[in-house]
């Protein structure tokens, strides 16, 4: 880092999950970076604080299982590449079964403090309200799904293409003390302890068949927020469907999705198998707030509180935050970006995070990690080497920049965030256009060669085959990442 003062800075626009990670990677490579974040001067519809890397909804980074879950593998790869987001997440984790969930304030404060303390990082609290100035010759745009309108318009003008839009919905948060523990109980599904957990991390609210049917009826009758004209034809992302939309898709959909009753035993009524279960996950380190897992909704506030209080145990629930709607803006990346995430029409602009069409906190940070490294390598005059497409990061980048394929369903450790992730739930329709995508094994190139056989020499079938396949995919990813790291210096540039 000794001659860093002679190196022109890389500019990163947006201090969210992706921009914070990108700025960190650039600085760690010895290149100065200016991080432009518009909050608190200008807020988005979802952000509430001025902290960098604020988590706007759930506090979960999802499964931490690197053997059989694609997002768990992504965690592992990011840790190997010195991710600030993963380091802060690990440091501020709260119990959440097999998932990695974090104390959102502690996490955001840790990311902010690390960037503020880095000698090569300058933080500029101002909106970039239009195309970045021409003299910024290397820019990473990481302004997220709620990119400010002035910048979104400028990008749209530059690409000549309409940015696509769709809806996500926010899940409600409940005060723990308002939950009736004479009805609810603590247990993780199948008592799985997971990282930092105890096996009894979730609050569970059981329903019998009559209660479930009445709840579905209420959801179907509930008044939802109406669409504005410009929102009217915007499709939902299938991995994050509102509960009332799931109910519309079929009366059983919720029971196979966020309300599935498996792996749980009600200690208050051990002989009675619940027909459905609503799970709540710890949302802050103090354990005073719990979010309703997979319960994103666009029900109007009045109707919403009344319907949610039909859930046994939540009759007197007090809500720290009710569910809501948001719009998402993202690029048609396979068409507009090159393999290193640069805008083909203006290669000085590189994109990262959710605006590229990845979906999720961890995916956004992972794309930020790659964009930061690519930008630093370019600034240092080195050839940029992509990650192998057999790794979770490489597969995600290949999906964004190389086009999309229809992903197979991927089960989270949580297993319940949305209908798209749930066994038995309706499968998302084959996308006709590029759609935001969580990392999943469907993005990985197929395995070469046969899977190992069972102990008695037979071909594996069913779930045993699926487990073996995931293990083979994650083993291959680890081996290929290790080989890539052995060949490359810390920037992913071939050793000279």
Ligand X SMILES: Cc1cc2nc3c(=O)[nH]c(=O)nc-3n(C[C@H](O)[C@H](O)[C@H](O)COP(=O)(O)OP(=O)(O)OC[C@H]3O[C@@H](n4cnc5c(N)ncnc54)[C@H](O)[C@@H]3O)c2cc1C
Q: What residues make contact with ligand X under the rule CB under 6 A?
A: 13-19, 36-39, 44, 46-47, 56-58, 127-128, 142-148, 151, 168, 170, 326, 353-355, 360-361, 364
Give me the least distance between CB of 149 and ligand X, in Å please.
9
Rounded CA gap, 349 and 337, in Å? 10
| Least distance from ligand X to the Cβ atom of residue 170, Å | 5
CB 409 within 8 A of CB 495: no
Q: Which of 79, 81, 76, 70 is nearest to 444 (CA)?
A: 70
DSSP 180: -
Other C-beta atoms lying within 10 Å of the C-beta of residue 310: 15
For residues 97 and 206, which CB has a smaller minimum distance to ligand X in the complex? 97
Closest separation in Å from C-beta 438 to ligand X: 8
How far does Cα 202 stand from its chain's mean position? 20
Q: Closer CB to ligand X, residue 313 or residue 360?
A: 360
CB crowding 81-115: b at 16 or more within 10 Å, else e: bebbbbbbbbebbbbbbbbbbbbbbbbbbbbbebb
For residue 44, the minimal CB distance to ligand X (Å) is: 5
CB of 119 to ligand X, least distance (A): 23
CA–CA separation, 411 and 63 (whole Å): 9
Of residues 264 and 331, the one with the C-beta less far from ligand X: 331
User: Which residue is closest to ligand X by CB?
Assistant: 16
**Least distance in angstroms from the C-beta of 22 to ligand X:** 9
For ligand X, give the closer residue by CB, 71 or 276.
Answer: 71
Q: Which is nearer to ligand X, 164 or 468 (CB)?
A: 164
Torsion of CA 408, 192, 391, 332, to 10 degrees: 50
From the list 65, 88, 289, the residue with the least C-alpha distance to 175 is 289
| Shortest separation between residue 3's beta carbon and ligand X, angstroms | 29
The torsion of the CA quartet 62, 65, 69, 72, rounded to 10 degrees, works out to 60
Euclidean distance between CA atoms 298 and 42, whole angstroms: 25
**Rounded CA gap, 415 and 450, in Å?**
28
Specify the residue, 63 or 148, whose C-beta has the smaller distance to ligand X: 148
Nearer to ligand X (CB atom), residue 399 or residue 478: 399
């Amino acid at each position: 880092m000794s001659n860093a003062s002679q190196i022109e800075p890389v500019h990163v626009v947006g201090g969210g999950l992706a921009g914070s990670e990108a700025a960190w990677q650039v600085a760690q490579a010895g290149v100065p970076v200016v991080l432009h974040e518009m909050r608190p001067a200008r807020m988005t519809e979802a952000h509430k604080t001025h902290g960098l890397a604020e988590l706007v909804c759930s506090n979960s980074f999802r499964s931490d299982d690197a053997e059989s879950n694609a997002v768990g593998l992504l965690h592992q790869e990011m840790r190997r590449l010195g991710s600030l987001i993963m380091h802060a997440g690990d440091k501020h984790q709260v119990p959440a079964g097999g998932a990695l969930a974090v104390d959102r304030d502690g996490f955001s404060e840790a990311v902010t403090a690390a960037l503020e303390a880095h000698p090569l990082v300058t933080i500029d609290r101002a909106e970039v309200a239009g195309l970045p100035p021409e003299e910024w010759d290397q820019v990473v745009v990481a302004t997220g799904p709620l990119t400010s309108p002035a910048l979104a318009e400028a990008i749209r003008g530059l690409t000549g293409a309409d940015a696509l839009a769709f809806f996500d919905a926010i899940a409600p948060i409940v005060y723990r003390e308002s939950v009736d523990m004479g009805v609810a109980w603590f247990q993780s599904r199948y008592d799985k302890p997971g990282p930092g957990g105890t096996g009894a991390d979730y609050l569970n609210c059981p329903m019998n068949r009559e209660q479930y049917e009445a709840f579905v009826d209420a959801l179907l009758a509930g008044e939802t927020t109406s669409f504005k004209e410009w929102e009217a034809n915007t499709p939902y992302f299938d991995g994050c469907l509102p509960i009332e939309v799931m109910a519309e898709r079929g009366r059983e959909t919720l029971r196979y999705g966020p309300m599935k009753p498996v792996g749980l035993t009600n200690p208050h009524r051990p002989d009675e198998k619940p027909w459905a279960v609503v799970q709540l996950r710890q949302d802050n380190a103090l354990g005073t707030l719990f979010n309703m897992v997979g319960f994103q909704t666009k029900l109007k506030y009045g109707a919403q509180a009344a319907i949610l209080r039909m859930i046994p145990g939540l009759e007197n629930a007090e809500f720290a935050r009710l569910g809501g709607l948001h719009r998402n803006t993202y690029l048609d990346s396979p068409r507009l970006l090159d393999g290193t995430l640069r805008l083909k029409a203006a290669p000085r602009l590189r994109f990262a995070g959710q605006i590229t069409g990845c979906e999720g906190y961890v995916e956004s940070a992972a794309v930020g990690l790659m964009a930061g490294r690519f930008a630093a390598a370019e600034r240092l005059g080195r050839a940029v080497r992509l990650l192998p497409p057999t790794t979770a990061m490489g597969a995600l980048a290949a999906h964004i920049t190389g086009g999309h394929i229809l992903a197979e369903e991927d089960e989270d450790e949580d297993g319940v965030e949305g209908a798209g992730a749930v066994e038995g739930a309706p499968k998302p329709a084959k996308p006709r256009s590029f759609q935001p995508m969580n990392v999943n094994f469907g993005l990985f190139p197929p395995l070469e060669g046969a899977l190992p056989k069972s102990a008695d020499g037979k071909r594996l079938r069913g779930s045993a085959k699926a487990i073996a396949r995931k293990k083979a995919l994650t083993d291959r990813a680890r081996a290929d990442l290790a080989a890539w790291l052995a060949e490359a210096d810390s920037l992913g540039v071939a050793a000279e």
